[in-house]
Amino acid sequence: MGQCPWCGSPQANQRTNCLNCGGPLIPIHEVGGRETPVPPPAPRPISERYKWRYIASDIGTITGLFVSFVGAIFFFMGLAFLVGRETRLLGVAFVPIGALMVLAFVAAGIRGYRKAVRFVRVLRIGLPTEGRLTSLREQHNVEINGRHPWILHYGYTVADIDYQGEVRTLDDPRDEYQVGQPLCVLYDPDLPSESALYPHP
């Protein structure tokens, strides 16, 4: 079992494409005993489905869904309250609050969708450049399947402009990553602020 270099999910070695994101699973080249990441040339066959999986794993979008669900309950309770003479004032408060919560989700959903589209685009057509790991931090306040996610921050430069990127992973990255080490960064040539690490930590 190895890891998909595009999305980080575990993959059987004999596959040619990742089941999760559709990315090509080519062996990472061994040079001088050290693994050097060499992404295959663009465009890469990242699946359209991965966009939705990426959205589903986005904690902000999940939170937005929950808020929208509660908001919808508020909204319909408010409508019911408006009918009753004694509860009308409650209805007047609940309806707009519920509507605002639903609207907040729609906004979060559009933001999450655009983020996923930009990310999939980087995996498909991103150009490689050398970046550097700037920090490595465990998120103690977040727990997923009994583990704390890690955030890796990195910097890279395109046309003399410095950019920052970050990536989350559930695997403890400390064995393989040290602050200051060079990394392969893929960036969108039309929007260099959008980037991903190759391989995915």
Please tell me the number of Cα atoms within 13 Å of 106 on its side-chain side.
8
Q: Cα dist. 132→31, 111, 175, 201 in Å?
A: 20, 28, 16, 14
Binding mask 62-81 for Zn ion (x = CB under 5 A): --------------------
What are 20's two structure tokens? 């999760």
Query: Is 20 or 68 the residue whose CB approaches Zn ion more closely?
Result: 20
Tally Cβ neighbours within 10 Å of residue 198: 21
Tally Cβ neighbours within 10 Å of residue 191: 11
Q: How far apart are CA 188 and CA 165, in angstroms?
A: 12
Query: Is 21 or 152 the residue whose CB approaches Zn ion more closely?
Result: 21
Determine if 18 is a binding residue for Zn ion (CB under 5 A): yes
Considering only residues 1, 2, 3, 6, which one is a binding residue for Zn ion as defined by CB under 5 A? 6
What are 114's two structure tokens? 């655009």
Determine if 20 is a binding residue for Zn ion (CB under 5 A): yes
At closest approach, how far in Å is the CB of 131 from Zn ion? 21
Query: Is 56 or 93 the residue whose CB approaches Zn ion more closely?
Result: 56
Considering only residues 3, 23, 51, 199, which one is a binding residue for Zn ion as defined by CB under 5 A? 23
| Binding-site ranges for Zn ion (CB under 5 A) | 4, 6-7, 18, 20-21, 23
